[in-house]
Amino acid sequence: MIGERPKTLKELRESGWQSKLVKQEIQNNFVRRLAAGEELFPGMLGYEDTVIPEINLALLSQHDMLFLGEKGQGKSRLMRALAGFLDDAIPYLDVPGAPLHDDPYCPISRICRDFVAAHDESDIPIAWWSREDRYAERLAPGTKFADIIGEIDPAKLAGGVSMSAEEALHFGLIPRMHRGIFAINELPELDELVQVGLFNILEERDVQIRGFPVRFDIDVLILFSANPSTYNRSGKVIPQLKDRIGSVIHTHYPRHRDVGIQIMEQESGMGLEGEYPVSIPYFMRQIIEEITIAARRSKFIDQQSGVSARFSIANYRTMIASARHRGVLLNERPAVPRISDLGHLYASSLGKLELDMMGSHQMSERQVLDALVAEAIKTVFMEYVDRHGLEEIAKIFGKGVRLEVGDLLPSAAYAEVLQRVPPVWDKAFEVNASKDVAVRASCIEFVLAGLYAMDMISRAQHFGKITYEIQ
């Protein structure tokens, strides 16, 4: 309990608490959890056999780390997760005016060393620094030397403090995270002067501010993140700094669509229950993730920038919102997402895709998105056709049928057109299309969109409504 923790240096010694370097502390807690078979990185999906083993080895090696990967691959989340291997709290000298959370047994700041030398251990106060406060993160663009390393404080000079004294310095984030973890996102965007300032911290663990060396051992785990396209570009990160980073952890997008769907569902935070519940056929989940997969291989998209998992998550939320909107207006419970709901993905997609100016050939972002959606529908539909046969899936649609669909069309309107669905539909789509009119409407739109993607039927779009015609 926090109330039972030692409050003086004398009580701390009597408690048997031992001082550890932060990397040793993290390693010890990591080994304990690894041996106990505990989950090491909760919520990180798809990295079990690739990224996580590399992190494990870096922790055992007590390395500073760089997480290298495109946007939306969980780099920041992984860095923050490492704070979970810190102790619940550690003691520090609670000395007035102390600039750092100094180790009670081995203070590095002059003010704490002098205080300890001048007082009895029973009079030296101890406070506790929580795990949550021992992690700090900074975005590289716009970060100055003074922000993360330090600067001479003019106010202290005006007060009579000598410029050569430690007390004249204002410490930046890295020194103030002594005995903690400091992370820098987008390392290649860090000013070159700041990169130079990191040399001694990574190698010698000391700080130099305006030529005044503060010769003390800063105990900190430093983490970086970067995009390969900028990190590997000549001149963006100076070689000496690269050389001092212990381990480079390469992240990646999900290798399998099902993993991407799990991530999408986990991170969306969208409840499907409530007064107006939503029930999502699996093929609609597959299409949303397949749109992202198609974008990641599209010649129209700048692949060096990448396509973030946030693209899938935002589109998934929009699809659910569109279905729920229909459910509220038409009192349909549950609401079931349809292909026509994907017509609203412009709002959640535009701005998240960076077009390749050479490959897009003047195509607009909307046109590129339309092409991606069409490709995703065709890909998923073909998988169902391969498993269950086109004739069985499309059997219900005879020649001369003309159907109008839309995101605000009542599900009952679909049921009126198609009174009966083939038994294979319930098996193929793993939904009760034969019994639930809202599910039937979703299946009908999927089949129509799939047939259109295969150039087997025609389609006309007008004021948000789509008309399919089987000729």
Are residue 153 and residue 277 in the same domain, yes or no? Answer: no
Task: Look at residues 203, 218, 250 and tell me which one is the last residue of a structural domain.
Answer: 250
Are residue 94 and residue 156 in the same domain, yes or no? Answer: yes
Task: Look at residues 204, 231, 250 and tell me which one is the last residue of a structural domain.
Answer: 250
Are residue 70 and residue 156 in the same domain, yes or no? Answer: yes
3-class DSSP state of 151: strand
Are residue 31 and residue 171 in the same domain, yes or no? Answer: yes
Give the number of other Cβ atoms within 10 Å of residue 106's Cβ. 13
Task: Look at residues 188, 220, 250 and tell me which one is the last residue of a structural domain.
Answer: 250
Are residue 319 and residue 273 in the same domain, yes or no? Answer: yes
Length of the chain: 471
pTM above 0.85, yes or no: yes
What is the structure's pLDDT at 356? Answer: 79
Are residue 302 and residue 387 in the same domain, yes or no? Answer: yes
State the Cα–Cα distance between residues 353 and 305, nearest whole angstrom: 9
Query: What is the tally of structural domains in the chain?
Result: 2
Q: Name the nearest CA neighbour of 339 among 421, 448, 429.
A: 448
Where does residue 462 rank: exposed (0-12), middle (13-18), buried (19+ CB within 10 A)?
exposed
Are residue 245 and residue 261 in the same domain, yes or no? Answer: no
pLDDT of 421 strictly over 90 = no
Quickly state the pLDDT bin for 471 (edges 50, 70, 90). Answer: low
pLDDT of 431 strictly over 60 = yes
Q: What is the CATH number of the domain that holds 90?
A: 3.40.50.300
Are residue 312 and residue 224 in the same domain, yes or no? Answer: no
What is the structure's pLDDT at 121? Answer: 95
User: Which domain does 302 fall in, by range?
Assistant: 257-469
Are residue 192 and residue 276 in the same domain, yes or no? Answer: no
User: For the segment 255-299, what is each residue's pLDDT rounded down to a tens digit?
Assistant: 999 999 999 999 999 999 999 999 999 999 999 999 999 999 999
Are residue 322 and residue 221 in the same domain, yes or no? Answer: no
| DSSP annotation of 353 | -
State the Cα–Cα distance between residues 19 and 352, nearest whole angstrom: 47
Quickly state the pLDDT bin for 217 (edges 50, 70, 90). Answer: confident
Are residue 350 and residue 203 in the same domain, yes or no? Answer: no
* Secondary structure in 3-state letters for 398-446: CCCCEEEECCCCCHHHHHHHCCCCCHHHHHHCCCCCCCCHHHHHHHHHH
Are residue 231 and residue 359 in the same domain, yes or no? Answer: no
Residue 225 sits at φ, ψ, to 5 deg, of -130, 155
Residue 459 sits at φ, ψ, to 5 deg, of -145, 140
pLDDT of 1 strictly over 50 = no
User: For the segment 365-416, what is each residue's pLDDT rounded down to a tens digit?
Assistant: 899 999 999 999 999 999 999 999 988 888 877 766 778 888 999 999 888 7
Inter-residue contact 214 to 169 (CB < 8 Å): yes
